Homo-oligomer: A and B are copies of this chain.
Amino acid sequence: MSNFAIIGPGAVGSTIAYDLQHNQPNLKLLGRREQTLNFFVDGDSTNPHQLTVTALSDCHEKFDVIFIAVKIPQLSKVLSKLDHLLHQDTMLILAQNGHGQLSEFTHPFVYQAVVYISGQKEKDKVTHFRDHKLILKDTPQTQALCKKLENTPLKIQLTDDIEAAIWYKLLVNLAINSVTALSRSTASVLTVPGIKNLCENLLREGTEIAKFENVIFEEKIVTEIMTIYEGYPSEMGTSMYYDILEDKPLEIEGIQGFLYNKARLHNLKTPILDTIYPLLLAQQKN
């Protein structure tokens, strides 16, 4: 475990690259094209750190560990260009929101990471706001990774119940991403009459879907997530909000779309999700 790569030089991938750079000086940050990024860590906007991006197509090494940190709509394309970077024991870590994307992989050692890293990318400037945490399933392989990276700023937390961790994050994303994207407003939208109620009802539908997928949350999860939302600064945008404003592909298939399809599978009534999902789908360009 001595050869690391990160695919996807966005906010998440750049933060992982920054966090691992001293521990893994040969680490490669791979993107569509060669580039130098100015990276600002922990909300500090005065002190840029340079990160070098290598074009994926120019990279001919094989890696022991690859973090895939592209957004959901880019995943299929990355997967089609991945094989030459893999040996038979390569460990792949999908550091991406949503759920259900692991089914697209054929390689054996793939882990879904639950990502707690927030930041934003504009052109060659990446600003990391807060958090340096990935949650992974507890296995001998991830334990070895954890040990290898224990002296880095990246906190890897291992869990026996990765499904619960993935679903929890999925629900956190579900309501706030939906309402900020559809209203094209920052977290300030929570002060509009009816929006908190909408979020609560959408979270209840999500919790019910989780139950039918054998992920059981207590009822108080709704209040808990609403408290998280209320802690957001009102000018904070979500990733789906920024994507919709910039006409970028939206991560809906791994979040709202994943839940919508699960609800159909289990014949659940989810009127709020059934309203939100097609309205988001309608804004997908291409």
Nearest CB in chain B to that of A183: its residue: B282
A281 with B201: CB separation less than 8 A? no
CB distance from A248 to the nearest CB of B (A): 15
1/0 per residue, CB under 8 A from B, across A247-286: the answer is 0000000000000000000000001101111110111000
A276 neighbours in B (Cβ, 8 Å): 275
Per the bound structure, the CA–CA distance linking A197 and B282 in Å amounts to 13
Contact sample, A vs B, 29 pairs, CB 8 Å cutoff: A179-B279, A179-B282, A182-B182, A182-B279, A183-B283, A184-B283, A185-B282, A185-B283, A189-B282, A192-B281, A192-B282, A193-B278, A193-B281, A194-B274, A194-B277, A195-B278, A195-B279, A195-B282, A197-B278, A198-B275, A198-B278, A201-B271, A201-B274, A201-B275, A271-B271, A271-B275, A272-B275, A275-B276, A279-B279
Question: What is the count of identical protomers in the complex?
Answer: 2
Per the bound structure, the CA–CA distance linking A41 and B6 in Å amounts to 61
Per the bound structure, the CA–CA distance linking A193 and B275 in Å amounts to 11
CB distance from A271 to the nearest CB of B (A): 4
1/0 per residue, CB under 8 A from B, across A161-202: the answer is 000000000000000000100111100010011110110010
A182 neighbours in B (Cβ, 8 Å): 182, 279
Per the bound structure, the CA–CA distance linking A189 and B278 in Å amounts to 9
A271 neighbours in B (Cβ, 8 Å): 201, 271-272, 275
A274 with B193: CB separation less than 8 A? no
Query: Which 3 pairs across A and B sit closest by C-beta, in order of nearness?
Result: A194-B278, A183-B282, A271-B271
